[in-house]
Amino acid sequence: MVETDAFAAISDPNRRYLLEELRRGPKTVNELAIGLPISRPAVSQHLKALLDARLVSVKAEGTRRIYAVDDNGFLHLNLWLDQFWNE
């Protein structure tokens, strides 16, 4: 797996929307696609970028894939950002 830079991943407004929705709780692609003016395949591509940046995780439940925020990925972002305030 090629890791994507987390800051590049969150630069897209659609991806930020997905993260905001996932912050409220785990969801499927279909549930996430409801609030976006893009296709379900496009939502899946955005989720892949967030997965590659380790900002979201996915687990299979039967035929469904459930996406959730990956706390560890955000921990790394927070640690990097905190260096600018903790001096």
Q: Virtual CA dihedral for 29, 34, 38, 40, nearest 10 degrees?
A: 30
CB 29 within 8 A of CB 44: yes
- Residue ranges of domains in the chain: 6-85
What pLDDT digit, counting tens, does each position of 43-60 carry? 999 999 999 999 999 999
pTM comes to: 0.87
What whole-number distance in Å separates Cα of residue 61 and Cα of residue 76? 28
> Given a cut of 90, is residue 83 above it in pLDDT?
no
SS3 56: strand
Top-level CATH class of 6-85? Answer: mainly alpha
The type of residue at 62 is: G
> Given a cut of 70, is residue 12 above it in pLDDT?
yes
